[in-house]
Amino acid sequence: MKITAFIAKKFAKPDGLTGVMVSYVMNQMNRKQYRMVEDHLALSSQDTVLEVGFGNGTLIRRLSKQAFHQLYGIDISDDMLALASKKNASKISENRVILTKGSVEQLAYKADFFDKIYTVNTIYFWQDISQCLSEVCRVLKKDGRFINVLYDSDYLNKIPMTKYGFTLYTIDVLVALAEANGLALSQTVQKKGACCLIFEKK
Ligand SMILES: C[S@@+](CC[C@H](N)C(=O)[O-])C[C@H]1O[C@@H](n2cnc3c(N)ncnc32)[C@H](O)[C@@H]1O
């Protein structure tokens, strides 16, 4: 396998030693995007929150210093679950952070469970995008907030790795897909290719 395709696979599902190393590279690359989540999540002490695709759990650890009721996370990678669990061990022991293995395609939560859901750079790997967005909408409370942070297709098209296993979206297409699945766009923040799309459940 070409090295570029191999690395792309580790972004989609980080595993093994290379996956762990890639997850730390992502922490550096995604700093601006983590800040976008922190700036727009507007956490309150009552909030039950979900992160989809938490990687090594860095953003969960950062957010866990703020007020919230419970912060859940799901990721498809066993190795990321192990790493993120280690990183967030103290909050997990207090039952304030709950991390599990799972896919956004089928969320193991009841309807209207979360006040806020967010995800950073995972949407390119969601297999059935409409099914995934409708799952996000199902488990979000009415007027709940979904923050989707990503790079737009113009930016990612210039990066060779994204030819392997990434599905790239223009912002217009993604917003239309989300709106078709019950999520209304309330704000867009863009900084040099990085986009923070803030939706509310209609
Ligand atoms: C590019 S990494 C981003 C990790 C983290 N959000 C960050 O910004 O550091 C993508 C992450 O999404 C996870 N992932 C991919 N597809 C997923 C799915 N269908 N459901 C949940 N997580 C998924 C991967 O295992 C990986 O940890």
Model pLDDT for residues 104-145, shown as the tens digit of each residue: 999 999 999 999 999 999 999 999 999 999 999 999 999 999
3-class DSSP state of 147: strand
Q: Is 61 in the pocket of ligand 1 (CB under 6 A)?
A: no
Q: Are 64 and 97 in contact (CB under 8 A)?
A: yes
pLDDT of 1 strictly over 80: no
Per the DSSP assignment, residues forming a β-bridge with 197 are 148, 188
Q: What is the pLDDT of residue 169?
A: 96
Q: Is 75 in the pocket of ligand 1 (CB under 6 A)?
A: yes
Please state, rounded to an integer, the average pLDDT across all residues of the chain: 96
> Which ranges of 128-195 does DSSP label H, i.e. alpha helix?
129-139, 153-156, 171-180
Point out the ligand 1 atom lying closest to the alpha carbon of residue 26: 9
Q: Is 7 in the pocket of ligand 1 (CB under 6 A)?
A: no
Residue nearest to atom 13 of ligand 1 (CA): 53
Question: For the chain, what are the domain ranges?
Answer: 3-201
Buried b (16+ CB within 10 A) or exposed e, 105-117: eebebeeebbbbb
Rounded mean pLDDT, 14-21:
96
**pLDDT tens-digit profile of 138-164?**
999 999 999 999 999 999 999 999 999
Q: Is 147 in the pocket of ligand 1 (CB under 6 A)?
A: no
pLDDT of 43 strictly over 90: yes
Amino acid at 54: F
**pLDDT tens-digit profile of 47-102?**
999 999 999 999 999 999 999 999 999 999 999 999 999 999 999 999 999 999 99
What is the fold, at CATH topology level, of the domain defined by 3-201?
Answer: Rossmann fold (3.40.50)
pLDDT bucket at 202, cuts 50 / 70 / 90: confident
Q: What is d(CA 108, CA 95) in angstroms, rounded to the nearest whole number?
A: 18
Q: Is 76 in the pocket of ligand 1 (CB under 6 A)?
A: yes
Q: Is 181 in the pocket of ligand 1 (CB under 6 A)?
A: no
Q: For residue 39, how far is its CA from the centre of ligand 1 (angstroms)?
A: 21
Q: What is d(CA 182, CA 171) in angstroms, rounded to the nearest whole number?
A: 17
pLDDT of 181 strictly over 80: yes
Encoding tokens for residue 152?
A: 């737009």
